[in-house]
A and B are shown apart, each in its own frame.
Chain A
Amino acid sequence: MRERWPLIIFAVIVAAIPFIPGVPPFWIVLLDNIGLSALVAMGLVLLTGVGGLTSFGQAAFVGFGAYTTALLSTQYGVSPWLTLPLSLLVSGLAAVLLGLVTVRLSGHYLPLGTLAWGLGLYYLFSKLAFLGRNDGISGIPPLSIGSLRMLDPGTIYFAIWAAVLISALLTMNLLDSRTGRAIRALRRGHIAAEAFGVYAPRAKLLVFIYAAVLAGLSGWLYAHFTRAVNPTPFGAQAGIEYLFVAVVGGAGYVWGGVLGAAIVVVLKEVLQSYLPLLLHGEGQLETIVFGILLVTLLQLAPTGLWPWLTARLPFKPAAKKPDTSIKLPARERAAAAPSVLLQVDNARKQFGGVVAVNNVSFDVQAREIVALIGPNGAGKSTTFNLITGVLPPTSGNISVLGKAVGNAPPQDVVKLGISRTFQHVKLVPDMTVLENVAIGAHLRGHSNALSSMFRLDRGDEAKLLAEAARQIERVGLGDQMHQLAGSLSLGQQRIVEIARALCVDPMLLLLDEPAAGLRHMEKQRLGALLRDLRAGGMSVLLVEHDMGFVMDLADRIVVLDFGTKIAEGTPAAIKTNPEVIKAYLGATA
């Protein structure tokens, strides 16, 4: 409850403002506009700042919400309260349709795609006869509760700000959950998240719909606030402005959306009323100043104002250490485990004419540490990608516990009990170590987005965090648990990746160069940890260049050179194998 105090204080202040004597009614109108804009910006925070999907089209979703209620309440006399779910539904459905097309786009295609359909929808709104073309729809009834009709800005104020506060609370709850972590992991590329069972397109579609529903809510309120709608506020310019609001406030922060809305709405008002007096000019002076301010702000504070403000706060929220006594159920293991855990049979991968992996076969037994070594470019990491489903094999079979993996995606491979680390560390640098590691336990939790929004996921969540904390302590990073992952040394980040992989409760751990960047003592501790895991019944397949480390640790070594297996055997046998020496030293030494 303690972390909720700032929100409660803020809510009380917001509720008290209209009762302060002497507050000009005009301020209340401004606050209404801030609230409407903040709702859309909050969705954008989740979509753009957290999820990494930049949308210029949010104004169109506001339009869907506004036109739905405008049409239904004027033409069919439906009560505004009944049109609320319908407005949200229409925005949400539009988001599903547009999202299915849009969220698969990568990089700059996505914002441009949203710009295109945003414009298309704006023109559609302004051409459709039943939406009143450019004139829109007027005479929309106000919201009313019993005999209280919310006609003036001072009463609908409460509806708008209640919506803002509730949405902020739900959004923060969502971000601080299993689903939230999956969303936050997406911005940094989806390979890591998918390796732990996150379905990236599904998670992206979810935030897309969430943002659209918030925009639809804003549209519904807007329609009953102004009681007339026309296409102008739903065009590309408005879409750009919403994005602007989010970026100004701080696109990665829920309250950044509210702060940004406050700044932009007030600034626009000030510019519109004072600039013409100051410069005796005509025309859109405010857009000129607006544009210049935007560029200046980006050059001075590219992450927005909210993080800049919170960094200057004297107090910091204390991080809570999870209760590690809560246990997640362990993976069910067959009583008599078959001896062969992983069987790679004639696996082959071609990229065009290049054969990266050339009919390689080997196996990993239960309770065994197998090392995959070879010079650079030998196909070791590609073999890892074949086993974990990141790349489909050109031919050959890979089976786990006798079951063929086939072309299963990474999300299904991890379910079989295989987890991995990456050669190039793939952590989310602005999430804490604990949150990063908890992504590893993604598949062991079950609560969905809705239950997290309403905090029904706390039992599940405590278990996931406890598991993550346990694995962090196991790898010896307990003191760094609440630091941002990006602030650790590269060697420590590799260890964090191991903790994340352990959260899967795997039967087979795939480590891609785990010792690179570690100091001597750290390497020894890593070796001890891996032996310990083997003793606990886990198998490890690792790629490593540190021969001392490998020879000391591995039960068996498989040597690849130019994609082909050239040797396999115990460390002692590999050390004296003439083929291996030739591959490493270029000639028979």
Chain B
Amino acid sequence: MNTTILLFLLQDGITNGAIYALLGLALVLVFAVTRVILIPQGEFVTYGALTYASLAAGRMPGTAKLAVVIGLAAFAFDLYAMRKTLHAPKIVRTFGLNVAFPVVVLLASMWAADQRMPAGVSLVLSLLIVASIGLSLYRIVFQPLAHTSVLVLLIASVGVHLALQGLGLLFFGAEGQRGPTLLNATATLGSLRFTGQGMAVYGITIAFIIGLWLFFGLTLYGKALRATAVNRLGARLVGIRTTLSGQIAFLLASTIGALSGILIVPITTLYYDTGFLIGLKGFIAAIIGGLISYPLTAVAAIVVGIVEAFSSFYASNFKEVIVFTLLIPVLLLRSLAAPAVEEEKD
């Protein structure tokens, strides 16, 4: 092997790793706040990517309609929950969030699909669509289950994954898609070529890590989220609306997922079911980070990306085997380092 290949593989690994890091961060965030292991994170990735690619190609994505449908369902859930105390301002608020917002986005994307807008507009619209789906999903699936065990939440999460993946096939078909790049500039440094897209991946990942760090460290909402993560009941007792924390977590996770998808769809062809595998690699990073630590997750994600790049070069057949079994020594180390003594409560 020569240095060129080595550097190239490293670069490739770091680019993929940065995406896994973004997803890992989102998974950690959602788990910490809601105890949901978010298997559908991968669907947020494909939805974001394929919505973006469809809009850019002038097609109307089905996800915009889905956002309206489950927004309506979420509105119905809200109405039912507050049937005893119907206050006009509350109804207006939930109507605005769950119905009016996705409808406006739907109309905007119908208009944009005809106009062939620049990539930036497609990007924003795709993010809004997927964010709205994520928000409503929390309301109709996970909020009613918030008091149950991690296992029940996990299975529900699997159910959502199945439904969303099936819908993905319905919306986007079995064909893979690619989207236009966000930045066309390229730069070369020695033998390495840096594409604008690659730089965008690094930049956005770093921005998100810093942003999350600031959000959790400095803002009241961030602190409320952390409080919910540590002790749900305690957070409620001091007046934090845990439902709101869950909504924020899902909003952030779906946005991050969609953004990751949009970042990679110009580089690799994405299919309706690719997201699951990408999400799982984010998972490996999140698990290595113990579902708790953000910096550790980011570092682990980079390692996963690099291992993947090298194993696809040396043993491409066994790439997935290697990446997934990477987890086992990590789990082993974790279990040796900290023998499980904590008591389970469910």
A516 to chain B, nearest CB (A): 19
Q: Which of B148-203 contact A (CB under 8 A)?
A: 148, 150-152, 154-156, 158-167, 169-170, 174
B152 and A302 form a contact (CB under 8 A): yes
A299 to chain B, nearest CB (A): 5
A116 and B327 form a contact (CB under 8 A): yes
Q: Is A244 at the interface (CB under 8 A from chain B)?
A: yes
B31 and A108 form a contact (CB under 8 A): yes
Query: Which of A102, A116, A188, A247 lies in contact with B284, CB distance below 8 A?
Result: A116
B321 and A127 form a contact (CB under 8 A): yes
Complex alpha-carbon distance, A247 and B321, angstroms: 28
Complex alpha-carbon distance, A553 and B148, angstroms: 43
B162 and A191 form a contact (CB under 8 A): no
Of all chain B residues, the one with the shortest Cβ separation from A116 is B327
Give per-residue flags for A166-202: 1 if the beta carbon is below 8 A from chain B beta carbons, else 0: 0000000000000000000001110100000000000
Q: Say whether, besides A54-B154, A191-B343, A102 and B331 are in contact (CB < 8 Å).
A: yes
Complex interface: chain B residues within 8 A of A243 (CB):
155, 158
Query: Which of A104, A108, A113, A286 lies in contact with B37, CB distance below 8 A?
Result: A108
Query: Which of B148, B160, B332, B344 lies in contact with A101, CB distance below 8 A?
Result: B332
A123 and B37 form a contact (CB under 8 A): no
Q: Say whether, besides A102-B331, A106-B342, A109-B287, A292 and B163 are in contact (CB < 8 Å).
A: yes
A120 and B170 form a contact (CB under 8 A): no
B166 and A123 form a contact (CB under 8 A): no
Q: Is B213 at the interface (CB under 8 A from chain A)?
A: no
Which of B84-92, B260-268, B333-341 participates in binding chain A? B333-341
Of all chain B residues, the one with the shortest Cβ separation from A54 is B151
B325 and A120 form a contact (CB under 8 A): yes
Complex alpha-carbon distance, A284 and B169, angstroms: 7
Complex interface: chain B residues within 8 A of A375 (CB):
none
Complex alpha-carbon distance, A112 and B163, angstroms: 20
Query: Which of A107, A108, A119, A283 lies in contact with B166, CB distance below 8 A?
Result: A283
B291 and A108 form a contact (CB under 8 A): yes
Complex alpha-carbon distance, A102 and B334, angstroms: 11
B339 and A104 form a contact (CB under 8 A): yes
Q: Is A285 at the interface (CB under 8 A from chain B)?
A: yes
Of all chain A residues, the one with the shortest Cβ separation from B148 is A302
Give chain B's interface secondary structure class: helix
A120 and B324 form a contact (CB under 8 A): yes
Q: Is A404 at the interface (CB under 8 A from chain B)?
A: no
Complex alpha-carbon distance, A244 and B320, angstroms: 25
Query: Which of A113, A119, A283, A295 lies in contact with B141, CB distance below 8 A?
Result: A295
Q: Say whether, besides A106-B344, A120-B321, A294 and B156 are in contact (CB < 8 Å).
A: yes
Query: Which of A107, A119, A282, A292 lies in contact with B320, CB distance below 8 A?
Result: A119
Complex interface: chain A residues within 8 A of B141 (CB):
295
Complex interface: chain A residues within 8 A of B320 (CB):
119-120, 123
B154 to chain A, nearest CB (A): 6
Complex interface: chain B residues within 8 A of A281 (CB):
170
B154 and A52 form a contact (CB under 8 A): no
A239 to chain B, nearest CB (A): 10
Give per-residue flags for A353-380: 1 if the beta carbon is below 8 A from chain B beta carbons, else 0: 0000000000000000000000000000
Complex alpha-carbon distance, A243 and B346, angstroms: 18
Query: Which of B169, B284, B344 lies in contact with A52, CB distance below 8 A?
Result: B344
Complex alpha-carbon distance, A111 and B158, angstroms: 12
B321 and A48 form a contact (CB under 8 A): no
B166 and A288 form a contact (CB under 8 A): yes
A285 and B170 form a contact (CB under 8 A): yes
Give per-residue flags for B117-158: 1 if the beta carbon is below 8 A from chain A beta carbons, else 0: 000000000000000000000000100110010111011101
Interface size of A in residues (CB-CB distance below 8 Å): 48
A116 and B156 form a contact (CB under 8 A): no
Residue among B167, B328, B331, B345 with the most chain A CB within 10 A? Answer: B331
Q: Say whether, besides A188-B344, A284-B169, A119 and B163 are in contact (CB < 8 Å).
A: no
A48 and B151 form a contact (CB under 8 A): yes
B222 to chain A, nearest CB (A): 23
Complex interface: chain A residues within 8 A of B151 (CB):
48, 54, 111
A51 to chain B, nearest CB (A): 12
Q: Is A158 at the interface (CB under 8 A from chain B)?
A: no
B332 and A288 form a contact (CB under 8 A): no
Q: Say whether, besides A288-B166, A291-B163, A298 and B325 are in contact (CB < 8 Å).
A: no
B166 and A295 form a contact (CB under 8 A): no
Complex interface: chain B residues within 8 A of A102 (CB):
331
B229 to chain A, nearest CB (A): 14
Complex alpha-carbon distance, A226 and B185, angstroms: 55
Complex alpha-carbon distance, A298 and B156, angstroms: 7
B158 and A107 form a contact (CB under 8 A): no
Complex alpha-carbon distance, A294 and B283, angstroms: 23
Q: Is B2 at the interface (CB under 8 A from chain A)?
A: no
A291 and B164 form a contact (CB under 8 A): yes
Q: Is B280 at the interface (CB under 8 A from chain A)?
A: yes
Complex interface: chain A residues within 8 A of B167 (CB):
288
Q: Say whether, besides A284-B166, A294-B159, A117 and B31 are in contact (CB < 8 Å).
A: no
Q: Say whether, besides A117-B327, A240-B158, A291-B162, A189 and B37 are in contact (CB < 8 Å).
A: no
Interface residues on B, range: 35 or more
B334 and A105 form a contact (CB under 8 A): yes
Give per-residue flags for A475-519: 1 if the beta carbon is below 8 A from chain B beta carbons, else 0: 000000000000000000000000000000000000000000000
B37 and A119 form a contact (CB under 8 A): no
A298 and B328 form a contact (CB under 8 A): no
Q: Is B318 at the interface (CB under 8 A from chain A)?
A: yes
Complex interface: chain B residues within 8 A of A108 (CB):
31, 37, 150, 154, 291
A295 and B156 form a contact (CB under 8 A): yes
Of all chain B residues, the one with the shortest Cβ separation from A248 is B155
Of all chain A residues, the one with the shortest Cβ separation from B323 is A120
Complex interface: chain A residues within 8 A of B152 (CB):
247, 298, 302
Complex alpha-carbon distance, A102 and B335, angstroms: 9
Q: Say whether, besides A115-B280, A189-B343, A291-B162, A283 and B321 are in contact (CB < 8 Å).
A: no
Q: Is B317 at the interface (CB under 8 A from chain A)?
A: yes
Give per-residue flags for A272-303: 1 if the beta carbon is below 8 A from chain B beta carbons, else 0: 00000000011111111111111100110010
Q: Is A124 at the interface (CB under 8 A from chain B)?
A: yes
Complex alpha-carbon distance, A291 and B155, angstroms: 10
A117 and B324 form a contact (CB under 8 A): yes
Q: Which of A284-328 contact B (CB under 8 A)?
A: 284-295, 298-299, 302
Residue among B145, B156, B161 with the most chain A CB within 10 A? Answer: B156
Q: Which of B31-80 contact A (CB under 8 A)?
A: 31, 37
B328 and A113 form a contact (CB under 8 A): yes
Complex interface: chain B residues within 8 A of A286 (CB):
166
A371 to chain B, nearest CB (A): 27
Complex alpha-carbon distance, A532 and B60, angstroms: 82
Complex interface: chain B residues within 8 A of A247 (CB):
152, 155
Of all chain A residues, the one with the shortest Cβ separation from B331 is A113
Complex interface: chain A residues within 8 A of B144 (CB):
299
Query: Which of B287, B340, B344 lies in contact with A112, CB distance below 8 A?
Result: B287
B160 and A295 form a contact (CB under 8 A): yes
Q: Say whether, besides A106-B342, A124-B321, A188-B344, A288 and B170 are in contact (CB < 8 Å).
A: yes
Complex interface: chain A residues within 8 A of B37 (CB):
108, 111-112
8 contacts between A and B (CB under 8 A): A107-B150, A109-B335, A113-B287, A116-B327, A127-B321, A191-B341, A240-B162, A298-B159
Chain B contacts to A: CB under 8 angstroms:
31, 37, 141, 144-145, 148, 150-152, 154-156, 158-167, 169-170, 174, 280, 283-284, 287, 291, 317-318, 320-321, 324-325, 327-328, 331-332, 334-335, 339-346
Chain A contacts to B: CB under 8 angstroms:
48, 52, 54, 101-102, 104-109, 111-113, 115-117, 119-120, 123-124, 127, 187-189, 191, 240, 243-244, 247, 281-295, 298-299, 302
The 7 A-B residue pairs with the shortest CB-CB distance, nearest first, are A291-B163, A106-B340, A294-B159, A291-B162, A189-B343, A120-B324, A288-B166
**With A112-B37, A290-B162, A298-B156 already in contact, 20 other A-B pairs whose C-beta atoms are closer than 8 Å:** A52-B344, A101-B335, A104-B339, A105-B335, A107-B150, A107-B340, A107-B342, A112-B287, A115-B283, A187-B344, A189-B343, A189-B344, A285-B166, A286-B166, A291-B162, A291-B164, A292-B163, A295-B156, A298-B148, A298-B155
